[in-house]
Amino acid sequence: MSLPVLALAVVVLLAVGYRFYGGFIARQYAIDPNAPTPAQSKNDGVEFVPTKPFYLLGQHFSAIAAAGPIAGPIIAAQQFGWLPSLLWIALGVVLIGAVHDFSTLVASVRHDARSIAEVIRLNLGPGAGLAILAFIWIALVYVIVAFTDVTAATFVSGDADLQGLTFTFNPGGAVAFASTLYLVLSVVMGLVDRFLKPPLWLQTIIFVPATLGVVWLGTCYSTVFILHTEAWGLSAPKVWSILILAYCFVASLTPMWALLQPRGYLGGFILYIAIAVGVVGLFFGGFDIQLPVFKGWSAPNGDLLFPFLFVTIACGACSGFHGLVCSGTTSRQIANEAHCKPVGYGAMLLEGFVALIALGTVMIAAPAVLQGKAPGAIYGAGLGRFMAVIIGEKNLLFATTFGAMAFSTFVFDTLDVSTRLGRYILQELFGATSTVAAAIATAVTVLVPLTFVLAADAGAWKYFWTLFGTSNQLLASLSLMGISVWLKRSGRRYWYALYPMVFVTAVTVTSLLLQIHGAFFKGTATTVQQINGVVCVVLLALAGAVAYFCVRALLAPSPPVKPGSAAPAAAA
């Protein structure tokens, strides 16, 4: 089967899923276009702001579509082949991932735009609330660890496809240089917007082309950021990891207007350009599929297809991190309950399409070319080949640098948001709100990943990625637990949330148990695997606590609650 036919089949499945299954879920929630939303009733012009669905969809999509749906499919396809990966992306996103995102968004809107952790606390009790907060913080730490390590590898990796084009070009250095300039450009845009206040259209026509300009500069000065770290006693990836985590610390404490908002705005354009390039490459590139259809039920490293295919693809099919976005910022901007379907369910389907493009970049590569490459480098090379269809092979250096920088752009978006959320959680857990407390909470959230990364050997991001995907999807399962209880206590059917929760729980708990076994009972575990094993035990305990409160609430008689309203808190 050709690549365009496969891509078309997935697009049709996503469209049919949105129309029929998304419509079915919306009917279960009795979406009411006339019901007041928190954005309307609490409109303060700052946090609660009714927003047009088109703009909110773009903002929400940019927030959730980070590097997860790119790296995950690439890693999984290399391990198990493209067909199992494609099936999980296409079916998982329709039946599980989009249902989770839609449900967390509706639940938050119906609970006065509270976070999913607060929704769980209200419906399962304060014990479950504390457990889910601790779980979320650990999951965020592993988001930071996984993305830091894989990005550092991208900044130092080369690309065999480009050898011979110019001996002065270094792909990793080009991406590092372009990515750094991109962050500087974002700060400049933030300062210009803050103090000069030019119209947004003027900023757009200046800074978006400038973003493409820094890609070109990266190809011109690709050797500037090649790190020679022998005298420091650290490898180049570890030095880059330190620098990236230092960025996370600064970004988390920097005012939103100075970095996160302009970077997110420019990053949105990078995302849309990458999607457009992916569409052209998939449907009109004429590329042959070179990756095997199916490689077997176990990967060369011994990982079993069940459960590791599912947790490796992670955000490409289901992501608990999305629930934090849905219930953290998006629910405060929903102007009409009818917008929950296109924003919540629809954006997750778009993320599934991003995962399809990422899968396409690895499907067209010869297996020998993929050896030793980080996902960011593979995605950059593949997206570069897609872009070359538009701008010509002579511009392959620019195209490939753009692809890899797009990956790092999405990573930075995930990293600083995760660090900021981690700070918020620690401050909430300890009731500390001062500036000093914010700095300490940020330092802890960054220093834990730094310890993990420095203790790891080269290529350890693969182990970090597995636990990141596991914790991320288990967080989605825990969110669906709380939503199932809320639906039951509200007198509504809840099987459409309960069944996906059971499946994802089975996948993630099996993954945790296998990682624990590999860490403590095989006798060949690395330091990273042993650290991961300890974390797995903690995550199991926290998830078990939430599950206990969930089962207790499901078995308890439902109190009389008006359908669609927020259920009262469970007894402690």
Residues 393-443 pLDDT 10s: 888 888 988 888 888 888 887 888 889 888 888 888 888 888 899 999 999
Residues 291-344 pLDDT 10s: 999 999 999 888 999 999 999 998 999 999 999 999 988 999 999 999 999 999
- The confidence score (pLDDT) of residue 390 equals 94
- The confidence score (pLDDT) of residue 309 equals 97
Distance CA 85, CA 66 (A): 18
Q: DSSP characters for 229-292?
A: -GGGTS-HHHHHHHHHHHHHHHHHHS-GGGTHHHHHHHHHHHHHHHHHHHHHHHHHS-PPP-S-
In Å, how far are 296, 399, 541 from 392, measured between CA atoms?
Answer: 37, 9, 54
Q: Which two tokens stand for residue 82?
A: 């493209």
72-94 mean pLDDT: 96
For 55, what's the count of Cα atoms within 13 Å in the CB-facing half-sphere? 8
Task: Indicate if the pLDDT at residue 91 is higher than 80.
Answer: yes
Does 571 map to a domain? no
- Residue 561 and residue 568 in contact, taking contact as beta carbons nearer than 8 Å: yes
Does 396 map to a domain? yes
- The confidence score (pLDDT) of residue 152 equals 81
- Residue 62 and residue 346 in contact, taking contact as beta carbons nearer than 8 Å: no
Cβ neighbours around 283 below 10 Å, total: 15
Q: Which residue has the higher pLDDT, 547 or 146?
A: 547
Does 284 map to a domain? yes
Whole-structure pTM value: 0.89
- Residue 449 and residue 245 in contact, taking contact as beta carbons nearer than 8 Å: yes
- The confidence score (pLDDT) of residue 428 equals 80
- The confidence score (pLDDT) of residue 161 equals 39
- The confidence score (pLDDT) of residue 569 equals 39
Percentage of residues in the chain with pLDDT exceeding 70? 93
| Domain count of the fold of the chain | 1
Domain that holds residue 151: 3-555
- Residue 466 and residue 72 in contact, taking contact as beta carbons nearer than 8 Å: no
Does 567 map to a domain? no
Task: Indicate if the pLDDT at residue 560 is higher than 60.
Answer: no
Q: At what angle do helices 375-391 and 347-363 cross, to 10 degrees?
A: 90
- Our CA angle for 510, 511, 512, nearest 5°, is 90
Task: Indicate if the pLDDT at residue 132 is higher than 60.
Answer: yes
Residues 235-294 pLDDT 10s: 788 888 899 999 999 988 888 788 877 887 888 888 889 999 999 999 999 999 999 999
Q: Give the 3-state secondary structure of residue 298.
A: strand
Phi and psi, residue 372, nearest 5°: 75, 5
Task: Indicate if the pLDDT at residue 447 is higher than 50.
Answer: yes
Does 404 map to a domain? yes
Q: Which residue has the higher pLDDT, 164 or 452?
A: 452
Does 173 map to a domain? yes
Does 369 map to a domain? yes
Does 294 map to a domain? yes
Q: Which residue has the higher pLDDT, 218 or 67?
A: 218
Q: Which two tokens stand for residue 509?
A: 């708990």
What value does the CA radius of gyration of the chain take, rounded to a whole number of Å?
Answer: 23
Task: Indicate if the pLDDT at residue 162 is higher than 50.
Answer: no
Q: Give the 3-state secondary structure of residue 122.
A: helix
| Distance spanning both ends of the chain, measured CA to CA | 56
Task: Indicate if the pLDDT at residue 160 is higher than 50.
Answer: no
160-171 mean pLDDT: 47
Q: Which amino acid is at 107?
A: A
Residues 480-516 pLDDT 10s: 999 999 999 999 999 999 999 999 999 999 999 999 9
